Amino acid sequence: MPAAFREGMGVIGGRQANSWSPSFWARHLGRAPYWTLGITDQHISVMTPSGLSTVHVAEHEKLNFEIGSIWARMSAPELGILSALPGLSKRALSEFRACVGQQVREYEEALDLQPVLEALVGWWTGFQAATRTNWDNRHWLPEEFIVEWEDRLAHLRSTHLLSAAQRRLMADRADERERKALHVLDADWSVHAHVAAQNEALVDVELIDERAFFDRIEKTPLNEEQARAVICFDNRVQLVASAGSGKTSTMVAKAGWTIRKNLAEADEILLLAFNKAAADELGQRCDARLANANISADGLRATTFHAFGLRVIGEATGAKPRLAPGLDSDNGVPLIADVVRALRRSSPEFAARWSLFQNVLGVPVTGDAEPEPDAWDPVKRRSGFRDLNLEVMKSAGERAIANWLIKSGIEFEYERPYEVDVADAQHSQYRPDFFYPSVGVYHEHWALVPGQAEPPGFEGYLQSSAWKKSLHSDNRTILIETAARDLASGSLFGDLERQLRANGIEPDFDPDRPVPGTPLLTDREMCTLFRTFLAHAKSNRLGAADLRARVTTGRNGTPDLRETLFLDLFDEVRQEWDRRLRDANEVDFEDMLNHATDLVEAGRWTSPYRVVLVDEFQDASHSRARLVRALVNRPGHFLFAVGDDWQSIYRFAGSDISAMTSFEDAFGAGHILRLERTFRCSQQLSTIAGDFAMKNPNQLKKQVRSDRTQAVPLALALVDSDTGVTDAIAQRLSELSGLAADGPTTSVKILGRYRYERELVPRTRYPSLDVSFQTVHSSKGLEADHVIIPGLTRGAFPSTKEDDPLLRLALPEGDDFPHAEERRLFYVALTRARETVLLIARTGRESEFVTELLSDGVVTVLGDGAQGDVPDPCPVCGKGLMVLRQGKYGPFMACNRFPACTSKRRVPS
């Protein structure tokens, strides 16, 4: 095809044409000049050497065809083509006529498109009017507005399916108003994008026009982040607020904005907080600040979840329930302890199972969750696990067996040399795991787990096991056997008891048998675990069958022993707990919130509130989140949830971080905004604390900014005793007192992981200092110029017992990042400080968090000379620090994770 023809016919109207030309033979024989016939965009085109002619398909009769014996000839006098153009094959003519027929049918259908066009114009006109009205009233267009108009448009599109040709025909026939309506059918046009553009324009205007409001509503003018969060009035808004970023000021302003803009009346606004002090402060602050801005707050209500839930039940049923007394005391742990005491007294079986869990299975003993060694055997020169008789076992599984034997009154010897000398060139003297001297029976506990031929790192283990078994066979000594896989499956203790009885030993498990050692979990720790589990199970509405369905199942189909035993105990505790509530006609927090939610969801209580503002949303339990969802789950209702997932530290009280991290999944689409400018911490400290928090990939990302700087925001003092801790605190307080002597009073908070750390605080008064001690949990929401954290010792902070894997059975989703809750707690401690933080740790027993900060190079070690040097990281485990220790042969460097890590090296002389 000549270039001129390709340019003229290749693309017509932006679309590739259907085209036909004289056949090859017609051109080859020289009997037909080159010409092209094409159809596109409902137009027929004829290209000849003299030019291009077009006609609409509805006028296809203007083309005449004479069909010869081989080829057809075309002429079109009305198009100025007077001579016939020959050479079109009969097949090409048939294809052309079929294509013309299809185009004509589409055209005829298009003649009936006027109602569709009118419908589109009606939708567009209505949409424009709705958006204009909201703009005139300076109102935000919320998600439900987008959904409503998107649904209408989708219905219009699905009811009137238009071909591309029909859309082009409509565009050709439309006037200017109709063409504007037609553009909503374009692939790149969306209701969401149009609304987002208008909302962003609204923010820009309101930031200017309402500057006086934002400057006056709080004592300190709101910054742009805060003001934008106030203006954004979507149905669902989550405000992720960094520590010290002014979230309360934003909530107060949000309440005032709602009333000022006539988005809701004051009595249609509900502010929810998690404790009475916070609710009272929020309510009082709203009253004072709204009055200062000449906004009436009559009817505005700030309350706790618990008070609100009781109100709902009382108004809906006519019988306000009574909360069980004591729930507010230590989260009800003393009530659980009382239940457990009663069960242990009344049921020897319960007492025995409680003791079995507490002394034998209190910590995980198999799989990835197996604990690190916690003891050192100076005779055998190895780390291990200390049993109830204070002997050090090689593995946690062996400790579990030893503790069971001890509580069963069975005498045994651990790793006693075999009675026959079998040492040779390949083998040292054989030492079976256990020996029962009363009957002369040996016991091997094989480190075999499902799915593995032999334990990792134990090459030749099976060969060694076979050799040991052959010794017993050859020497006619009795061997009984257990395996690690049987401990997880739950069959180990039953099998062991049968084997012992078969060999003349009668186990007598006595939970009260006195022992020199301490249990794996104290009674206090056990009761705390059960209360936390109860809160989550009830909050997530998980019954006994639901919990059992979540138990880990081994490869052989057997349920995990530790989880099963825990649930056996938990079922009895829960039944007795609920029985006491029923008998006293009382409720606990979780049942009360669930009942209140049921009443709202069932329509038995109609909420008068259209706008719900929730403070500290990261602390919401599943039951609280469900109640909030029920309150706003209607058109024209709005949720403003404010919190910081980095500060979610109340899992022991039932809080579920997933309400924050999966906000849109739980509540629906909306806006997720951030307050990333802190008014409290320096930029250096904000960066250190933020980087520390974000090492957990499950936390929401933020980049905290500050206008303040601090040369040395984080320092570390290493001490060797409790007295050293007190001395380090005293030295720091003396330094700060001297610096504050000529200025205003300086505040200092000493933050302990546990209450007992109060005893480490010096009793001396320091001029110009306001010094107070608090636990880290109780310090949340507070701040001070300087912070001291004295308890950064391995095993204490982070606590090794707060994140028990059992909790996953009662949680909708777990956070398996190491020390996730404790990490957030440490972040809270760091971010209480406006200026500096002093960490205090024991030399050689530094907390994992201290090790991490030192490895990151973000903490300054105090002291002179070598004392002030930053310890080297452990080259073996990579988690600890190499610290100086004294041995029989002089000083040496060893990992501070000892005995979990036994790495050491000589000190150069």
Annotated binding site for ATP: 241-248
Rounded alpha-carbon distances, angstroms, from residue 489 to 48, 73, 334, 450, 557: 87, 89, 33, 10, 8
Strands (E), 615-713: 638-643, 671-675
Q: Show the tokens assigned to 788.
A: 């001291």
Known binding residues: 241-248
The distance of Cα 796 from the centroid of its chain, to the nearest Å, equals 25
> Any idea what DSSP says for residue 793?
B
Indicate if the alpha-carbon torsion angle 23, 28, 31, 33 is positive or negative: positive
> Rounded to whole angstroms, how far apart are CA atoms 91 and 770?
100
What own/partner pairs with CB < 8 Å and gap ≥ 24 does 45-51 have? Answer: 45/9, 45/12, 45/17, 46/74, 46/76, 46/79, 46/81, 46/85, 47/5, 47/8, 47/9, 48/81, 48/85
DSSP secondary structure of 125-184: HHHHHHHHHHHHTT----HHHHHHHHHHHHHHHHHS---HHHHHHHHHH--HHHHHHHGG
Number of Cβ within 10 Å of residue 909's Cβ equals 5
- According to DSSP, the residues that pair with 43 across neighbouring strands are 40, 56
What own/partner pairs with CB < 8 Å and gap ≥ 24 does 469-477 have? Answer: 471/418, 471/420, 471/422, 471/430, 472/442, 475/419, 475/420, 477/418, 477/419, 477/420, 477/440, 477/442
Of residues 342, 328, 267, 263, the one with CA closest to residue 297: 267
Q: Show the tokens assigned to 654.
A: 């039932």
> Rounded to whole angstroms, how far apart are CA atoms 561 and 558?
9
In sequence order, which residues have a C-beta less than 8 Å from that of residue 661 and are 6 or more positions away? 645, 698, 699, 700
* Beta carbons of 376 and 392 less than 8 angstroms apart: yes
Q: At what angle do helices 333-346 and 523-539 cross, to 10 degrees?
A: 110
Rounded alpha-carbon distances, angstroms, from residue 242 to 170, 468, 576: 53, 61, 42
* Burial status of residue 481 (CB atoms within 10 A of its CB: 0-12, 13-18, 19 or more): middle
